[in-house]
Amino acid sequence: MADQKTITVKIKRQDGPEASTRWEEFAVPYRPNMNIISVLMKIRENPVTTSGKQTTPVAWDMNCLEEVCGACSMVINGRPRQSCSALVDQLQQPLTIEPMSTFPIIRDLQVDRSRMFDSLKKVKAWVPIDGTYDLGEGPRLPERKREWAYELSKCMTCGVCLESCPNVNSGSSFMGPAPLSQVRLFNTHPTGAMVKDERLNAIMGDGGLANCGNSQNCVQACPKGIPLTTSIASLNRAATVQMFKNFFGSDHMVD
């Protein structure tokens, strides 16, 4: 098997949040239809670098492996994306894998994305229901409206849009595109819209909507194809109106 084709992969590693970074190179036997996850799995079965050094298995997050859970985001060949859907056959070699550096690094490719979940709290990303008791049917919704709202609801909080945004970084408090788009989603839902002014005011605060600089990388990078920039522009319009309502007062805060 000496002539078996191998894949060379360079991985940026870091033992802990404070530790220094290093690059390690591995050679993995090639198989058709491999994805980055199966490359990493091969490495952990035999964690030895190309220079023959025994090392520790690479730490990374993954779960569903079919691009719906959002866990396995990393920067592959310079692009932030889901590693499960990154097929080796479609990538240039040698492969380089890095963690998403806009988030605090836990270990190797694992990052801490809890700030995204905190943002969801801040923007009240939920439909305020009275309770889980049987209160009959939900509101009607036109199917065509539902179709685009569904696109927004596919956001899996993977963090790729934040990683690709030049305005999300350690020097800024920008919450990033993902939670903003959720505001549009919940302000669209008939019940969610009953507190839409609260959500708009939340994103008109610190780290909110105004921090978007329209580089529009997010919409390029989003693995789910969510129209993030359309959401942001739409929220900009809503915020413009809200701004005047706030200033002059209005009886139409939620309609």
Partner 1 sequence: MAKSKLLVVGGGLAGLMTTMKAAEMGTEVELFSLVPVKRSHSVCAQGGMNGAVNTKGEGDSPWIHFDDTVYGGDFLANQPPVKAMCEAAPGIIHLLDRMGVMFNRTPEGLLDFRRFGGTMHHRTAFAGATTGQQLLYALDEQVRKWEVEGLVTKYEGWEFLGLVIDEQGVCKGIKAQDLSTHEIRAFRGDAVVMATGGPGIIFGKSTNSMINTGSAASIVYQQGAKYANGEMIQIHPTAIPGDDKLRLMSESARGEGGRIWTYKDGKPWYFLEEKYPAYGNLVPRDVATREIFDVCINQKLGVNGENVVYLDLSHKDPHELDIKLGGIIEIYQKFVGDDPHKVPMKIFPAVHYSMGGLYVDYDQHTTIPGCFAAGECDYSQHGGNRLGANSLLSAIYGGTVAGPNAVNYIKGLDKHVEDLPSKIYDEAVREEQAKWDDVISMDKGNENAYLLHKELGEIMTNNVTVVRYNKQLQDTLGKLAEFKERWNNINVNDTAKWSNQGVQFTRQLRNMIALANVITKGALLRDESRGAHYKPEFPERDDENFLKTTIAEFTPSFEPTITYEEVDCSMIKPRKRDYTGGAH
Partner 2 sequence: MAKEKEFYWRRLHSLLGLIPVGLFVTMHLFINFSATNGAESFNKASKTMESLPFLLILEWVVIYIPLMFHAFYGVYIAFTAKPNVNRFGTVRNWFFTMQRLTGIFLVVFVAWHIWQTRLQKAIADAEVNYDMMADIVSNPAMLAFYIVGILAATFHLANGIWSFLVSWGITQSPKSQKVATWVTMIFFVLLSVVGVMAILAFV
Residue located via tokens 């408090």: 173
Tell me how far, at minimum, the Cβ of 68 lies from partner 1, in Å. 5
C-alpha angle 30-31-32 in degrees, rounded to nearest 5 = 125
240 scored as a contact of partner 2 (CB under 8 A): yes
118 scored as a contact of partner 2 (CB under 8 A): no
Phi, psi of 26 (to 5 degrees): -130, 150
Q: Which does 101 bind (CB under 5 to 8 A by kind): partner 2, partner 1, none?
A: none
From 207, 222, 223, 224, residue interacting with partner 2 (rule: CB under 8 A): 207
CA 138 to chain CA centroid, nearest Å: 29
55 scored as a contact of partner 2 (CB under 8 A): no
SS (H, E, C) the chain: CCCCCEEEEEEEEECCCCCCEEEEEEEEECCCCCEHHHHHHHHHHCCECCCCCECCCCCCCCCCCCCCCCCCEEEECCEEEECCCCEHHHCCCCEEEECCCCCCEEECCEECCHHHHHHHHHCCCCCCCCCCCCCCCCCCCCHHHHHHHHHHHCCCCCCHHHHHCCCCCCCCCCCCHHHHHHHHHHHHCCCHHHHHHHHHHHHCCCCCHHHCCCCCHHHHHCCCCCCHHHHHHHHHHHHHHHHHHHHHCCCCCCC
19 scored as a contact of partner 2 (CB under 8 A): no
Contacting partner 2 within 208-227 (CB under 8 A): 208-217, 220-221, 227
Q: Which amino acid is at 17?
A: P
Nearer to partner 2, 138 or 213 (CB): 213
38 scored as a contact of partner 2 (CB under 8 A): no
Q: Which does 134 bind (CB under 5 to 8 A by kind): partner 2, partner 1, none?
A: partner 1
The contact set with partner 1 (CB under 8 A) reads: 15-16, 31, 33-35, 37-38, 41, 44-47, 54, 56-57, 59, 61-71, 84-85, 87, 106-107, 110, 113-114, 117, 120-121, 124-129, 131-132, 134-143, 146-147, 149-150, 153-154, 156-157, 186, 189, 191-192
Q: Which does 125 bind (CB under 5 to 8 A by kind): partner 1, partner 2, none?
A: partner 1
| Cα(62)–Cα(29) distance, integer angstroms | 21
Among 92-100, 112-120, 147-155, 206-214, the segment contacting partner 2 (CB under 8 A): 206-214
Q: Which does 132 bind (CB under 5 to 8 A by kind): partner 1, partner 2, none?
A: partner 1
Q: Which does 117 bind (CB under 5 to 8 A by kind): partner 1, partner 2, none?
A: partner 1
Nearer to partner 1, 19 or 241 (CB): 19
Task: Return residues touching partner 2 (CB under 8 A).
Answer: 78-80, 164, 166-167, 169, 171-173, 204-217, 220-221, 227, 229-230, 232-240, 243
